Amino acid sequence: MRIRDFFPLRRYSLFIFIILLLLFALVLMSLRAKQRKGPEFLDALLMEICSPLQKASTFVIKTVQGTFQKYVFLVHLERENRMLKQKIAELQDENLRTKEMKLAMDRLKQLLKFREKNPFP
C-alpha cells in the first residue's frame, strides 16, 4: 500500500478542481454584484460556463433522490405485501374451517333425517 493512495486529492483531483472552479466563480460573481449593478460580460461568461455543470449536478442529484424515493417505496411495498400474504393465509384457513363446519353440519342434518325416518322400536 502506497502512502499516495491515502491522499484524497490524488483520487478525486478532477472532482475537487470542478468544485473549486465553481466556488471561485460564485465568489467572483458575488463580489462583482456588490460593486456594480446588473450583469456584465464576465458575469455572463461565468454563468454560461457554470450552467452546464449546474444542470448536470442538478440532474444527478434529482436522479439519486428519485432512486432513493423509489427504493423506500419498494421497501414499504414489500412490507405491505408480506402483511397481505399473511392475511390471505389467515383468511384461507378461516375459509377452510368454515367449509369443514358446513360439511359437518350437513352430515349431522343427514343423520337427523335418518333418525327421524327410522325411529327406534
**In the structure grid, which three cell numbers stand for residue 90, read together?**
389467515
Only one residue has cell 456588490, namely: 34
- pLDDT, residue 1, reads 47
How many CB atoms are located within 10 Å of the residue 50 CB?
16
Continuous segment of H or E residues that includes residue 121: none
Residue 80: its pLDDT value, please?
95
Q: Give, as one character, the DSSP assignment of residue 12.
A: T
Mean pLDDT of 87-93: 97
- Run of H or E residues at 98: helix 41-117
Threshold 0.85, pTM exceeds: no
| Chain segment 29-77, per-residue pLDDT in tens | 677 666 665 556 666 777 777 778 778 888 888 898 888 889 889 999 9
- Identify the pLDDT of residue 48: 77
